[in-house]
Structure 1
Amino acid sequence: MKKFLLIVALTGGFYISEAAVTSWGINNERCIFMQQEKQYKKIKVSEVSKEAMDKIKAGYGSYTVKEAYKAEDGSYKLVLSKDGINTTVTFTPEGELIKILD
């Protein structure tokens, strides 16, 4: 537990949204590995780069972009809608698909 608190203290208490993975290291020491999810800030749909939007429209032209978010690394998280069903998708700054979240 002390190591976990130390990790939290050293990271400044950042929000960790991914699950922690526990394994056993050398001399049976318990190791906890955590991964921090990217933080996205809401932006206007019109603020998505033209290059990315053109590529996204080529693959998802029948969808409407309802919301847009951008991470510090330039990647986008978009809420796409079709037939009343919303789907959240992440894209690279160039508009390449990274992951469909739901």
Structure 2
Amino acid sequence: MREFVYGTDQQYELLKGSLEDHLCHVYSHCYLPDNCSKDMARIGFEKEENTYALFIDKGISCSCNHAPALFKDWLAVGTVRFLDFTDMKEFLRSLKCLY
């Protein structure tokens, strides 16, 4: 996940373009923050009809007290949806505090 948290605008534009096929793009071996119950997880991105979905392997928890609530919810549920790509990008970038 660190790869996405610290991704450049150019890398995000490439990701956004790849999602135009409306398929789920899964990235394996994404490194999670130290306070997570697992070191790595699979993360998936998908452009749905009117939203963007972000998926993560289930069964992961985070013991970090300053972790954003949406991050903990995402780990618990395994999915979070955003109204647009920019919101998803900003969510991922907001997780820098965990690294």
TM bracket (short chain): under 0.3
Greater RCO, 1 or 2 (C-alpha within 8 Å, sep 6+) = 2
> How does the TM-score come out when normalised to structure 1?
0.25
Q: More strand by proportion, 1 or 2?
A: 1
Which of the pair has more CA radius of gyration?
A: 1
Structure with the higher helix share, 1 or 2: 2
